[in-house]
Amino acid sequence: MALLTPIEPERATRSQLASRGIAASEATYPTASGRLVAAVASSCGPHHDANEDTHSTLAGSGRLFVVADGVGGGAMAQLASRLLVAHLHDALQPRTPDAASVAAAMLDADRVIAAAIARATHLPGAATVALCAPLDAAAASWLIGWVGDCRVYRWSPAASRLECLTRDDSFGQLREAPPPGGSADDPARMVGNGATDGANCALHTLAPRELLAVCSDGVHKHLDAADWRRLLAEPRPLAQRCQALVARARANGSGDDATLLLVERQGRERQRAAAAQRTSP
């Protein structure tokens, strides 16, 4: 299904939120029935020299949102995640994606990343990834795609319901034996080392006021349902809720790089209320 009208950024604001060193940014994109508000927060793990997670910058068209996690222990994990996000945007953003185009983009990225790493080292490297993309002008229908153990959740505030829309490509879930020294919870599918045959894809709807949460395992492994519900329900700007969830994952023991990207679908009533709040004395 083609977009009836392009979703282009209406306003983008970027700020470094000082709390616990977690950087966050927020952007808005008009839709046929209101707008999308997107926010992202990311934090480098305390034992990492560099953040091996990469995410969409929010400076684009609002037609693709990606989080990638460079696999720890692999060579050049930061390069793998950056190349993966860049490649997916180049391949998928010019048009409305479908399951076939996402799978093809993942396979092509797998080859590109492997070749780039091979030029620098003989060791392997890879990344896991999750993405979401609106399929119509109102942003009511969404394509969800993933490889590995990055996740996408849907939050429905009216019912206070959190749903995981993805299923980890872990050794345990796939009923495969992990390598020596590995865990059943480790990702068995990745992009960049030949360990993928495409991508998992699913179609989901997003009602007004609902949001999608795309995150690396440095976030979701350290948040329970109560954490998600409490912090997503707070009446704060989306970027601050995003930052608070990453900070909670840190407080709960996350020592990994942690990245969370939130996308909220707002109708015109919510848009007018937000505008009135900004202009009130």
Give me 227's structure tokens: 């954490």
CA–CA separation, 40 vs 17, rounded Å? 11
User: What does the DSSP 8-state code read for residue 216?
Assistant: -
What is the rounded average pLDDT of the residues 219-245? 97
CATH for the 11-279 domain, from 3.30.420.40, 3.60.40.10, 3.40.605.10, 2.60.40.10: 3.60.40.10
User: What does the DSSP 8-state code read for residue 179?
Assistant: P
pLDDT at 231 exceeding the cut of 60: yes
Note the residue count of the chain. Answer: 281
Buried b (16+ CB within 10 A) or exposed e, 169-180: bbbeeeeeeeee
- What sign has the CA pseudo-torsion 244, 249, 253, 254? negative
Q: pLDDT tens digits for 79-136?
A: 999 999 999 999 999 889 999 999 999 999 999 999 999 999 998 899 999 999 999 9
Domain ranges of the chain: 11-279
Q: pLDDT tens digits for 190-221?
A: 999 999 999 999 999 999 999 999 999 999 99
Residues 6+ away with beta carbon under 8 Å from 100? none
